[in-house]
Amino acid sequence: MLVGHKNIIKTLENLFNSTLESYIKKYNIPQTRIELKEKIDNICKCFFDGGLISEFNVFCDETNNTPDLIDKNVCVVDTHIKLSDEDLIFHITSFIGFSNNFVTIESECR
């Protein structure tokens, strides 16, 4: 992965995490997941329109938010991204979780 590619992925992770921050203290309910998916979709669309990514898929529903995660009020957003000049598809998993009034917001790229 080239330095420019790392910057694109890191920028996306930062934008995703900033988006999740606005959902602190919200419950992992269907409406929350729909809103989060739409916001992450919009971020990806800007990168797509700018020619930085060629494909993307965002998942934030019951397929990746299992009943166990929902009960723990942890919300997961999975994003698959293909950079415009790269054959690899990057998978960014972002989540927000609550544990003893401590909020965790993280992203991991694989």
pLDDT, one tens digit per residue, over 32-45 is: 999 999 999 999 99
Q: Which two tokens stand for residue 31?
A: 């409406």
Q: What is the pLDDT of residues 49-72, one digit of tens each?
A: 999 999 999 999 999 999 999 998
Query: What is the three-class DSSP state of 69?
Result: helix
- pTM across the whole model: 0.86
Q: For residue 14, give the amino acid letter.
A: N
pLDDT digits (tens, 9 = 90+) for 70-95: 998 889 999 999 998 777 788 888 88
Structure tokens at 17: 């995490």
Phi, psi angles (nearest 5°) of residue 15: -65, -40
